[in-house]
Amino acid sequence: MSFANFWEPNAFSDPRCLYDASTRTFFFSVIGFDNNNNTTVDIAVYNARGFKVYQFDTSLGGTQFGDQPHIGYDDNAFYVSTDEFPLTGPDYNGAILVIISKPQLVAQSATVSSATTGLLSLAGEPVLTLQPAISTSPTTTEYLLNSFFQNLSNNKLGYWTVTNDTNPANAVVRATTIASETYVFPVPALSTGTGQTTGIITSEDALNPDDARMQQVQFIHGHLWGALTTSLLVDNDPTPRDGLAWFKINTYTSAVEQQGYVGSLGNYLIYPAIFHTRWGLTAIAFTLTSKTINPSAAYVVNNFPKKFAPLSFGEVSIAAYGSGPHYSFSQALFGERRWGDYSAAALDLNGNSIWLATEYIPVFQSLYDNWGTRVFEVGPKSHW
């Protein structure tokens, strides 16, 4: 199928794609605009029935800008959360959740049932980045996670469930907080640039890890897997670096079952995406950078200790070394460094291996912002 078939005239930013093996359907999402210039999330569906695009309002009646759609699904519904920013001020107001009939999307029905929450908060704080789980085993409950990072550090997560979602209008959304290991607001990830600006292009001496928001979440066989960027100390190095905090949450007990950190001496690891297979392989993709290593695509896979031993990860591996420093227009034009917002991970159709995607500096580059995305596979043959 040619790329021309996927053209969406209202598309604006932040595209994502998921493949649901249970329905053999691709779901694409992107920020869009309606005829009144209000933000929407546009969902494109592609399967054996063809290709169809749907629009769902995320502007709350034209008062908000719905940013950074995050997507997931269970057996009954497709979920989109967006971060809501008021059109008339700089403040952040919270996330919303759009619940959409998954069978109707898959069938490419003329109309699709949906329901949208109001602005969401938890523990007295507006929720920023509510991550719906990508369900890779059967479930009629959708699970979502969020982190809290308005303070410099925290030791709790937001844990959400949505039930009775066969009809989105009747869905029941519940939320609570659960205890977790401590995660800390990340520090600038030092990199190989000089910090000098020529014209509108800056050679960046640090990458911006943004914050400690929850990244991609997966549901598989009664557990949630999630990860985020955190500042940490590695071995005896007194200098804070960026590393990864990961979580395995038992949905039967609604509690963290296992958790831990991944760090690399002298290096910075940012924007993790974690995924787990039913055979026990767990992988995390992320960007690695330092003062001597250009922004590179990296990953870890789990060690395989004796049965019932705690999960741990092996040494950091680099899938693709960056070809140079990060050059970007963002600092000169907008007064801040930028480095993506997420990595991604997906299960191969064989069920045994995991495809990972993360940002690095490729050989062939844009003149204005030279980052690129590396896609690679890890599997049992090479890592078990």
Distance, CA of 96 to CA of 59 (rounded, Å): 10
Q: Which helix (H) or strand (E) holds 184?
A: strand 172-184
Asked if 190 contacts 208 with a C-beta cutoff of 8 angstroms, the reply is no
Asked if 64 contacts 71 with a C-beta cutoff of 8 angstroms, the reply is no
What are the residues whose beta carbons fall under 8 Å from the beta carbon of 236, sequence distance 6 or more? none
Distance, CA of 141 to CA of 161 (rounded, Å): 7
What are the residues whose beta carbons fall under 8 Å from the beta carbon of 88, sequence distance 6 or more? none
Which residue is listed with tokens 């844990």?
Answer: 159
Which residue is listed with tokens 């914050």?
Answer: 211
pLDDT value of position 88: 84
Q: What string of pLDDT tens digits covers the 384 residues of the chain? A: 344 455 667 788 899 999 999 999 999 999 999 999 999 999 999 999 999 999 999 999 999 999 999 999 999 999 999 999 999 877 899 999 999 999 999 999 999 999 999 999 999 999 999 999 999 999 999 999 999 988 899 999 999 999 999 999 999 999 999 999 999 999 999 999 999 999 999 999 999 999 999 999 999 999 999 999 999 999 999 999 999 999 999 999 999 999 999 999 999 999 999 999 998 999 999 999 999 999 999 999 998 766 667 899 999 999 999 999 999 999 999 998 989 888 999 999 988 999 999 999 999 888 899 999 999 999 975 443
Q: What is the DSSP string of 86-127?
A: ETTSS---EEEEEEEEHHHHHHT-SS--EEE---BEETTEE-
Distance, CA of 344 to CA of 237 (rounded, Å): 30
- Tell me the one-letter amino acid at 66: G
pLDDT value of position 283: 97
Q: Is 338 helix (H, G, I), strand (E, B) or coil?
A: coil
Distance, CA of 182 to CA of 261 (rounded, Å): 10
pLDDT value of position 307: 65
Write down the mean pLDDT value for the chain.
Answer: 94
Distance, CA of 9 to CA of 185 (rounded, Å): 38
Asked if 326 contacts 338 with a C-beta cutoff of 8 angstroms, the reply is no
